[in-house]
Amino acid sequence: MKKSIILALKDLMILSRDKFSLFWVLCFPALFALFWGVIFSTGSKGPSGMKIAVVNEDQSEFSKLYISRLESYEALDLTSLSRDEAIDQVRTGKQVAAVCIKQGFGDGFEAIFDSNNPRLEVAVDPARHMESGYLQGLLAKAQFEALGKKFQDRDWMRNQVNLWRRDIEEADDLTAKQVETLLSFFDSYDMLLQDVNETDYMAGLEGGMLNFATLDVRRESKGPTSSFQITFPQAIIWGLLACSATFAISIVSERKVGTFQRLLVAPLSRANILAGKAMACFLACIAVICIQTAGAKFIFGMPINKPMFFVPAAACAILCFVGLMMIVSTMSRTEQGAAGLAWALFMIMAMLGGGMLPLIAMPQWLRSISHISPIKWSILAMEGAIWRNFTLTEMFAPCSVLLAIGTVSFLLGVMILRRVEQ
Amino acid sequence: MIEVQNLRKSFGTVVALDGVSFEVNHGETFGLLGPNGAGKTTAINILCGLLRPDQGTVSLDGKTDPTVPEVRLSLGVVPQTLALYEELSARENLRFFGRIYGLSGRKLKERVRNCLEIAGLTQRSRERVSKYSGGMKRRLNMVCSLLHEPPLLLLDEPTVGVDPQSRNLIFETIEAMKKQGRTIIYTTHYMEEAQRLCDRVAILDHGRILDMDSVENLIVKHGGPSHIEAEFEERPPNPDRIRQFIEDKNMRFEETKIRFKTNRPMESLAMLNRSGLRFRSLKVQTANLEDVFLNLTGRRLRDE
Query: Residues A65-86: pLDDT tens digits?
Result: 888 888 888 888 889 999 899 9
Beta carbons of A13 and B92 less than 8 Å apart: yes
B48: nearest CA partner in chain A? A265
The pLDDT value given to residue A353: 84
CA quadruple B147, B150, B154, B160: dihedral, nearest 10: 20
Check if the beta carbon of residue A261 is closer than 8 Å to that of residue B79. yes
CA distances, A198 to each of A49, A154, A186, A201, A204 (Å): 38, 9, 19, 5, 10
Check if the beta carbon of residue B104 is closer than 8 Å to that of residue B148. no
The pLDDT value given to residue A406: 92
Q: Is the pLDDT of residue B106 over 70?
A: yes
Q: What percentage of chain B exceeds 90 in pLDDT?
A: 29
- Sites in chain A below the pLDDT cut of 70: 41-48, 108-116, 202-223, 421-422
Q: Which residues in chain A have their CB less than 8 angstroms from residue B49's CB?
A: 264-265
A3 touches chain B (CB under 8 A): yes
With bands split at pLDDT 50, 70 and 90, how would you rate the model's confidence at B292? confident
- Residue A354 CA to residue A358 CA, distance in Å, equals 5
pTM flag (> 0.80): no
Check if the beta carbon of residue B55 is closer than 8 Å to that of residue B8. yes
The average confidence (pLDDT) of chain B is 87
ipTM: 0.81
Q: Is the pLDDT of residue B30 over 90?
A: yes
Q: What is the mean pLDDT of residues B288-293?
A: 84
Residue type, A50: M
Minimum mean pLDDT range among A82-91, B276-285, B292-301: B292-301
The pLDDT value given to residue A70: 87
The pLDDT value given to residue B304: 46
Check if the beta carbon of residue B204 is closer than 8 Å to that of residue B18. no
Check if the beta carbon of residue A381 is closer than 8 Å to that of residue A317. yes
Q: A9, A260, A265, A273: best mutation site toward chain B, by most B Cβ within 10 Å?
A: A265
The total number of residues shown for chain A amounts to: 422
Q: Which residues in chain B have their CB less than 8 angstroms from residue A18's CB?
A: 87
Q: Which residues in chain A have their CB less than 8 angstroms from residue B92's CB?
A: 13
A258 touches chain B (CB under 8 A): yes
The pLDDT value given to residue A408: 93
- Residue A57 CA to residue A102 CA, distance in Å, equals 5
Distance (Å) from the alpha carbon of A14 to chain B's nearest alpha carbon: 6
